[in-house]
Chain A
Amino acid sequence: MPKAFPLPSDLSPATVANTASLLRIVALSLISGAAIASRLFAVINFESIIHEFDPWFNYRATRVLASKGFYEFWNWFDPTAWYPLGRVVGGTVYPGLMATSGVIYNLLHALNLPVDIRNICVLLAPGFSALTAWATYMFTKEMKDESAGLLAAAFIGIVPGYISRSVAGSYDNEAIAIFLLMFTFYCWIKALKLGSALFGTLAAIFYFYMVAAWGGYVFITNMIPLHGLVLILMGRFTSRLYVAYSSWYVIGTLSSMQVPFVGFQPVSTSEHMAALGVFGLLQIVAFTQLVRSHVSSKQFQDLLFVALVTAGLLGAVAFVGLTYKGAIAPWTGRFYSLWDTGYAKKYIPIIASVSEHQPTAWPSFFMDLQFLIFLFPTGVIMCFHQLRDEHVFVIIYAVMASYFAGVMVRLMLTLTPVVCVAAAVAFSSLLDTYVDAAEPEEEKSSETSGAATPSDASSASTSKKSKKEKAAAAASTPGNALTDLVAATAPTKKGDAPKAKGIYGIDTRLAVIGNAFAMLAFFVLHCTWATSNAYSSPSVVLASHNPDGSQHIIDDFREAYYWLRQNTPETAVVMSWWDYGYQIAGMADRPTLVDNNTWNNTHIATVGKAMSSSEEVAYPILRKHDVDYVLVIFGGLLGYSGDDINKFLWMVRIAQGVWPEEIQEPNYFTPQGEYRIDDMASPTMKNSLMYKMSYYRFSELFGGGQSMDRVRNQQVPKVGPTLDVLDEAYTTENWIVRIYEVRKEDLLGRDLKSANAFAKGKKRKRSKPVSKRRPIL
């Protein structure tokens, strides 16, 4: 066979294998290094700090775990959260993340490496991203080969879709969960391939770890059963599937029930019923297989039919009956809103209000996945081409995850691994084809079919034809009806030898490979840019640029939280919107009314009501909840758009859900239906506590000039709102955080409004007119 370019021929196969193995190890370690390094932008640009909101709680809990031990953490009741209710942290948290950091912390200290727990928390996500790259390598290796695995590892190492949730400081459950997800899937595929109970058990153990770490474990709970079900429907039931699934399901379910937060959910909620149902189905199918080996075919047919129908009916009736009686809980709201996309907005506005629960527009897909997004379908087609059992898994995963990622931005995270895998399969097939030096013999016999006018239509038809031919040729899968069918219907020319595959010439190779490498290089540039610009902001510390281009750090949040920490009694209760609950607890160490663990809708609605009603209505609420300080975020001076006035409508909506009589969303709009804060704002809006707290004394800042809200681009009224029940306690440098102290009841028993008026020296208006003295004549 001719070669396109010379290859060294004096190498023994052993040398080649050894060198390849060494190169793989080197490549994997370099990929790990790149994965970790590209996540450190946040530390270099800012500092080693915990990001955003939820990580602050995880960090706080980890500190408890590290300082007091696991047992204390497990029984930790936090009286400062959800004041006055408190929170049983041990029973309402996925402890996997904290336990992981705790183990690393104790390990390092046992080695006499006195590392601060904060640094472990900050760097946990980058560290685990290296493990994710390795797990993806192992997974993809099962799909195609090692070279595809290396590509997939490199992709997932730097792809922004995963980096967005795992930069240094983003100490959240997802940081370790994606590694666990990929490794559980790898173990499952391995177990299925080998029919090995050992790998099934490994999958179950990592599934347990995943359950302990992230609520997204439900994805695995449904993916593996779905894979099993599709394999059964395709007529691919094997004892390997039976062993793998049974060992995974039994051990995985039993161990997952040990997590207190999960408890009996695996046997009592609809999310987990698919796994149970497929487990039952597998037993039935395995039983019929056993019977088949003992009875004759005709008897067997009848027996099978009756048994299957009876079992199916019984199962369905039992499921419906149990759901109806309430033994099986229906879908939880968060899960249900994935299917019925209008559901959350209607019934649980708190779920709809979270920004990461919004649907995804296409630019987000491209930003997060770049060229992988269009290699992804190609990779899925290649999976269809081979269609071994493990390829079915990738196909199901691809379809499900792309739907979920479209519905919710945060689920982009579950789509990213499969996109990397599929794209790597496609890309490595491309490289395999065009790097291979072998050149086929050119056929001299003139091709009769289609004069190969390279229009789209003809190439499409040839492609279809050759696909069919290859489908027929690819008899690697155990002969099933459809392959035979395709082979029978495909027009085969007489006397066609199996076609030789290969590329002619060196220039063609260089063109394709050069193109491919240019795309890879572009991908690296894109990832670096996206990571450093879009995903590395801690959001606790903001950055802007000075006129000379140097970086200016805006540190208002920490300024305010430290003010609270230093200037208020430890028992002072701080009310704020729930977004800032974890941060206040973590940085200011003060009790909060509501926080990011949004389990109590009514409590959140209470805060929403206090914020959105007038002072007279809000004051009793504040006093009843012992609120000492109210904290609002205001971005009008700086143009910080994520402030409370922009979130205000959600507060109104959530409050309206509980008190539809008192709070009504339309009242906060102008009669023309606009959301305004200037002179034309509706009276309800102007009287609301949130509006008053945000714009209190704002116009004074402009010294009588036009005071401009830079977020809403509207002019704030010249005469600002007055406050009777609150005193301004602290406002940060850029006015981003404003803290108000709640006044105590007046000592003389007057209402605060008249007391305030008295203090300002205003006369009380009397209803009776004072009699005028009659001039003496």
Chain B
Amino acid sequence: MLLLPFLALFSLPLAIAADDATHQKLVSLAAAGGGLIKLDAASFELLTSPNRDWSASIEFTALDNRRRCSPCREFNPSWNAVAKAWIKAPKEHRDNHFFATLDFDDGQMVFQQLGLASAPVVYVYPATEGPRATGRTDPSKYDFSHGFEPEPLAQHLSNHTPIPIPYTPPFDWARWTTFAAGFLSLALALRFVAPILQSRWTWGVISILTSLIMTSGFMFTRIRNSPFMGHDGSWVAGGYQNQYGQEVQVLTVVYGTLGFAFLMLIMVIPYQTSAQRQRFQIYLWSAVIMMVYSILIVLFKVKNRGYPFRLLL
């Protein structure tokens, strides 16, 4: 069993001398994978060997279903698209930077070594030798604050590649076809829907709904990605500057009811011809206004605890 360390010792100078061979091997690996090297623990060592005149960007991921890493699956297409785009780079540049993917199930050891507790992670290993050496040897991490989109990823990685990655977003056929089809069908249907489009009440409903939804804080939930309801099943978020998606619906209904009650009082009830019926409706809608308004105040007190006023409730 002395043979093994001996062999290793023997291969050490050979490895340094065979840097070129390693590079060639990586190039062929990349070519085989269509621009993307599928790594395991051994080839990871090769790719990130301390003496390298190439740079590499590596995605650490866990695509297997058992791992239940939905962000990994979400990010992977973007990664592949950027890696594929790199094939289009001229050969002399292309071979100086490699794209690689290491799945958790292929190299648990590497994950442990690097202390990675979550995925996906993108590391960029700079070149340590040759003209492109920067003096840095340790990898830098890609920050996912811009999301999983391919554009910012390509933009960021381009800082580390010999030439910028020739990534162009794919032409979105589906979207444009849908758009064109929608436009065409609208143009064709214009004759039939024209009466609807010309009705003031169509536009009235659209306008009123828009204002109601907007003033209920819909844009807040959109921009902040608020959940529909709380984790504990509560539907009112505590705090003045916070709200859940469900609150938008409740508030729209509350405002809508109140506005509708006023509309009844102003525009409908005066045309009632029976005095008895009119009296009944007036009292009914006044009561509705008072009750719903009280509920609204109660809701507001939940959000703003210092609010000193209350109505019936």
Contacts and interface: CB of A to CB of B under 8 A. Distances in A.
Contacts of A774: none
Interface in A354-380: 358-367, 371, 373-378, 380
Contacts of A1: none
Given A373-B255, A454-B281, A501-B271, A395 B218 contact: no
Given A403-B214, A501-B270, A381 B282 contact: no
B295 interface: no
A403 to B, nearest CB: 5
A3 B150 CA distance: 75
Nearest to B140: A661
Interface in A251-309: none
B259 A470 contact: no
B264 A459 contact: yes
Contact of A363 (B262, B268, B303): B303
Given A360-B217, A482-B199, A499 B208 contact: no
Interface stretch (A81-89, A382-390, A675-683): A382-390
Given A360-B219, A361-B243, A429-B267, 15 more contacts: A341-B222, A346-B152, A359-B223, A361-B240, A373-B215, A376-B211, A377-B211, A380-B207, A399-B210, A402-B211, A406-B215, A462-B268, A503-B278, A515-B286, A665-B145
A666 B280 CA distance: 64
Contacts of B211: 376-377, 380, 398-399, 402
Contact of B278 (A358, A508, A656): A508
B207 A399 contact: yes
B215 A405 contact: yes
A504 B272 CA distance: 10
A345 to B, nearest CB: 9
B271 A499 contact: yes
Interface of B: 117, 140-141, 143, 145-146, 152, 156, 159, 195, 198-201, 203-204, 207-208, 210-212, 214-220, 222-224, 240-243, 247-248, 251, 254-256, 258-260, 262-271, 273-275, 277-284, 286, 289-290, 293, 296, 300, 303-304, 306, 308-309, 311
A529 B304 CA distance: 13
B23 to A, nearest CB: 26
Interface of A: 341-342, 346, 358-367, 371, 373-378, 380-382, 384-385, 387, 395, 398-399, 402-403, 405-407, 426, 429-430, 433-434, 440, 442-443, 447, 452, 454, 459, 462-463, 466-467, 470-471, 480-482, 485-486, 499-505, 507-508, 511-512, 515, 519, 522, 525-526, 529, 533, 653, 656, 660-661, 664-666, 671
B247 A403 contact: no
Contact of B280 (A387, A440, A454, A671): A454
Given A359-B224, A482-B198, A384 B204 contact: yes
B278 A504 contact: yes
Contact of B263 (A342, A378, A481, A507): A378
A653 B145 CA distance: 10
A395 B212 CA distance: 13
Contact of B309 (A346, A463, A503, A526): A526
B263 A459 contact: no
Contact of A362 (B248, B263, B267): B248
Contacts of B266: 378, 382, 426, 429-430, 433
9 contacts: A361-B243, A363-B300, A376-B259, A377-B256, A378-B263, A381-B267, A426-B266, A504-B275, A664-B141
Contacts of A376: 211, 215, 259
Contacts of B283: 508, 511
B274 to A, nearest CB: 6
A505 B201 CA distance: 32
A112 B85 CA distance: 76
A363 B215 contact: no
A481 B198 contact: yes
Contacts of B218: 406
Contacts of B278: 503-504, 508
A499 B278 CA distance: 14
10 pairs of A and B residues whose beta carbons are closest in the complex? A406-B219, A362-B217, A504-B275, A374-B258, A402-B214, A384-B204, A377-B259, A359-B220, A406-B214, A363-B303
A756 to B, nearest CB: 29
Contacts of B254: 374
Contacts of A366: 296, 300
A119 to B, nearest CB: 32
A505 B223 contact: no
Contacts of B195: 481-482, 485
Contacts of B200: 384, 387, 471, 482
A362 B243 contact: yes
A335 B267 CA distance: 39
Contacts of A371: 293
Given A402-B211, A443-B273, A512-B265, A381 B247 contact: no
A141 B280 CA distance: 33
Nearest to A395: B207
A380 to B, nearest CB: 6
A613 to B, nearest CB: 16
B124 to A, nearest CB: 10
B274 A443 contact: yes
Contacts of A384: 200-201, 203-204, 207
Given A380-B211, A402-B214, A502 B284 contact: no
B216 A447 contact: no
B143 A504 contact: no
A361 B220 contact: yes
A362 B216 contact: yes
Contacts of B145: 653, 665
A373 B254 CA distance: 11
A661 B141 CA distance: 9
A500 B266 CA distance: 14
A525 B141 CA distance: 56
Contacts of A661: 140, 159
Given A402-B214, A470-B267, A341 B242 contact: no
A511 B287 CA distance: 10
B309 A508 contact: no
A529 B219 contact: no
B312 to A, nearest CB: 11
A362 B201 contact: no
Given A378-B259, A443-B274, A661-B140, A362 B198 contact: no
A499 B268 contact: no
B238 to A, nearest CB: 11
A666 B286 CA distance: 56
A430 B268 CA distance: 11
A375 B259 contact: yes
A43 to B, nearest CB: 23
B215 A365 contact: yes
A410 to B, nearest CB: 14
